Amino acid sequence: MAKTCTVCKLNLPVEAFNKASKAKDGLQVRCRECSRLNNLQWYQNNKEHHKVKVLSHRKDNPDLVSYWRKKWQQTEQYREYSRMYQLNYRKLFPDRVKATETKRNQTDTRKHSFKLKTYRRRGAVGSHSLAEWQEKLAEYHNKCAYCTQDAATRDHRIPLIKGGTNFIDNIVPACFSCNSSKGAKTDMEFIAWQTR
């Protein structure tokens, strides 16, 4: 089945037309391509009006906007868009990327220093460097030593309260859940407790 577009005058299959519930045949009079060009032309002529309308809608319906944004972010199309955007950003602004990475490394160093101070205050013997901790994380593939979750904390295999040291050979990566469940247990006691 075919239909003629009123703008480009081409005889096209009905699949080339958008639906229109009020039309007799249920299809718009313009083909999709002509509709797209018409919408683009309208947008070019009414940019400011459209911008005000969109901002007003976002302000009046924050929950609806949030819902659709989350829905869009779950699509494969968004993931591909995001990946391409990041690659292009890295090419266009290498200085900004380098500055951000430097700042992130400084933040990691500060966090590490703070952790060591906390352990020293608690009377821990020994120390380890940020590089040693990062090597340990890589050894465990950034996963918890006790389960398959992502590692987010350092866990002392023999707790400091039971005479454990703060040297790297006594430390393993752990998720929040396992680390808090383990408490003052040794790693062997915790594994036995998990499998009971």
Q: What is the amino acid identity at position 158?
A: I
Burial category of 174 from C-beta neighbours within 10 Å (exposed 0-12, middle 13-18, buried 19 and up): buried
Of 21, 25, 22, nearest to 4 by C-alpha is: 25
Helices and strands per DSSP (H, E), number in the chain: 8, 6
Question: Can you give 6-73 as a three-state secondary structure string?
Answer: CCCCCEEEHHHEEECCCCCCCEEEEEHHHHHHHHHHHHHHCHHHHHHHHHHHHHHCHHHHHHHHHHHH
Q: Which fold has domain 1-43?
A: Wheat Germ Agglutinin (Isolectin 2); domain 1 (3.30.60)
Q: Which fold has domain 130-194?
A: DNA Binding (I), subunit A (1.10.30)
pLDDT in tens, 97-145: 888 888 877 888 888 888 888 888 888 888 888 889 999 999 999 999 9
Q: Where are the domains of the chain?
A: 1-43, 71-121, 130-194
Q: Check: pTM over 0.85? Answer yes or no.
A: no
Among 34-38, 108-112, 159-163, the range with the most confident prediction by mean pLDDT is 34-38
3-state secondary structure of 75: coil
